[in-house]
């Protein structure tokens, strides 16, 4: 234990502000009786002449304002823990590492004393604040890359934050990716089911309203309401299809960077800059849907009024207003359907089944 404290004191920062960050890791190391070894770092995968790199560390900074390392000259503290109660501690300060937001940067650590596995990572800024989003540690041997370990952080670290550093536990990246993909598939299936419920509820409401108006007010009023309801049904169908396509494109977004690089290398890259217009893309635009619905409602109202001149006496104004209200009322039935389906929540049973499978 005396040698442990001596090694920790020799590798601590000199300023009081930086000492507090490393002392968090050092106090825990002393409590757990972990053997701490100093580690060297480099941007060169070949390392230095005296020590070869043993681990490649890739740090991804979160992509939002304020996530970047505010004091890059001070560097970061990082400690790697293995399963044999050994730890490698380093204050990484390199001119080429800025840890900007959205950046993914790799450096090499040399610590041959560390075991084969890296079970935990302790990481934090040496000064200022910073949010590392993901950390990947890959063991490097003479034969090449070896085991890889992934870590994830979800909080801002450093000064004036809840924590000055974070201790992260390794997780299975492949299994986590599989769980995310399975969740995305379940979400898309649930949305398709909700979409069918909404379209069915809209059609039922429009049909019921048209029948009631036909019995109470006559054929013309029923046609106005039904025509507006048909426009609302088309609008809801286009809107829900657009939302479903957005979710599908996000789910298929992973792994496209390599394809883009391959296409760029084969000379097909410039073709992606050419705009492509298709009916589905045009109809998926919010402005297009709004203009389409407004134009159809206008044509329906104009058609139903026939040869009646706008604003020619009290009777003409009443007919115009009544036709507009009936058409718009049928159109807004899609809103009632969406609110009703959301209130009933037909996905509650799926949520209960998912919770049961987790347990």
DSSP string for residues in 161-201: SSBSSEEEE-B-HHHHHHHHHHHHHHHHHHHHHHHHHHHHH
User: Which residue ranges of the chain lie beneath pLDDT 50?
Assistant: 1-23, 30, 252-275, 307-308, 310-315, 348-359
Q: Which of 184, 157, 174 is nearest to 66 (CA)?
A: 157
Contact between 291 and 235 (Cβ < 8 Å): no
d(CA 239, CA 234): 9
Give the pLDDT confidence score for residue 150 in this predicted structure. 92
CA atoms within 13 A on the CB side of 42: 15
**Which H or E element spans position 76?**
strand 76-81
Determine the Cα–Cα distance for residues 246 and 351; give it in Å rounded to an integer: 22
Q: DSSP 3-state assignment of 116? A: coil
The CA-atom distances, in angstroms, between 92 and each of 96, 208, 278 are 11, 70, 51
Q: What is the Cα–Cα distance from 227 to 326, expressed in whole angstroms? A: 9
Phi, psi dihedrals of residue 300, rounded to the nearest 5°: -65, -45
What was the pLDDT predicted at 50? 59
pTM: 0.52
Q: Are 334 and 232 in contact (CB under 8 A)?
A: yes
Superfamily, domain 2-171: PLAT/LH2 domain (2.60.60.20)
CB 221 within 8 A of CB 213: yes
Residue 169's Cβ-count burial label (10 Å; 0-12, 13-18, 19+) is exposed
CA distances for 335 relative to 30, 207, 223, 238, 331, angstroms: 62, 15, 20, 14, 8
Domain ranges, ordered by start, for the chain:
2-171, 178-251+276-352
Locate 74 and state its tokens: 């001070």
**Both structure tokens of 143:** 């034969």
pLDDT of residue 2: 41
- The answer to whether 149 touches 172, Cβ cutoff 8 Å, is no
Rounded distance, CA 319 to CA 120, Å? Answer: 75
Relative orientation angle of helices 173-216 and 333-344, to the nearest 10 degrees: 130
Q: Looking at the DSSP assignment, which residues form a beta bridge with residue 152? A: 134
- Give Cα 4 distance to the centre of its chain: 42
Residue 166: count other Cβ atoms within 10 Å of its Cβ: 20
CB hemisphere CA count around 80 (13 angstroms):
33
């Amino acid at each position: 234990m005396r040698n442990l404290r001596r090694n920790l004191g020799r590798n601590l920062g000199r300023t009081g502000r930086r000492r507090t960050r490393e002392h968090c890791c050092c106090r825990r190391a002393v409590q757990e009786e972990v053997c701490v070894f100093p580690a060297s770092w480099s941007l060169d995968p070949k390392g230095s002449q005296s020590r070869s790199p043993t681990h490649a560390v890739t740090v991804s900074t979160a992509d939002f304002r304020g996530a970047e390392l505010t004091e890059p000259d001070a560097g970061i503290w990082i400690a790697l823990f293995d399963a044999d109660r050994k730890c490698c501690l380093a204050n990484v300060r390199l001119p080429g590492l800025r840890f900007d937001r959205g950046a993914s940067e790799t450096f090499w650590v040399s610590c041959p004393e560390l075991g084969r596995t890296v079970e935990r990572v302790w990481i934090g800024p040496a000064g200022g604040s910073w949010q590392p989003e993901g950390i990947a540690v890959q063991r490097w041997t003479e034969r090449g890359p070896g085991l890889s370990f992934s870590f994830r952080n979800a909080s801002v670290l450093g000064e004036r934050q809840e924590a000055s550093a974070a201790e992260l536990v390794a997780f299975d990246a492949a299994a986590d990716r599989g769980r995310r993909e399975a969740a995305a598939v379940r979400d898309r299936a649930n949305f398709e089911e909700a979409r069918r419920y909404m379209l069915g509820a809209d059609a039922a409401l429009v049909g019921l309203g048209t029948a009631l108006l036909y019995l109470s007010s006559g054929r013309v009023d029923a046609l106005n309401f039904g025509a507006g309801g048909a426009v609302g049904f088309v609008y809801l169908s286009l809107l829900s299809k657009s939302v479903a396509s957005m979710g599908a494109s996000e789910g298929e977004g992973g792994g496209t960077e390599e394809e883009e690089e391959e296409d760029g290398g084969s000379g097909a890259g410039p073709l992606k800059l050419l705009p492509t217009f298709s009916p589905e893309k045009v109809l998926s635009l919010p402005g297009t849907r709004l203009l389409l619905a407004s134009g159809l409602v206008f044509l329906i109202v104009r058609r139903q009024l026939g040869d009646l001149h706008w604003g020619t006496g009290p009777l003409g104004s009443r007919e115009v207003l009544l036709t507009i209200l009936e058409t718009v009322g049928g159109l807004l039935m899609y809103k009632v359907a969406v609110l009703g389906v959301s209130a009933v929540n037909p996905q509650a049973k799926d949520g209960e089944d998912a919770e049961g499978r987790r347990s």
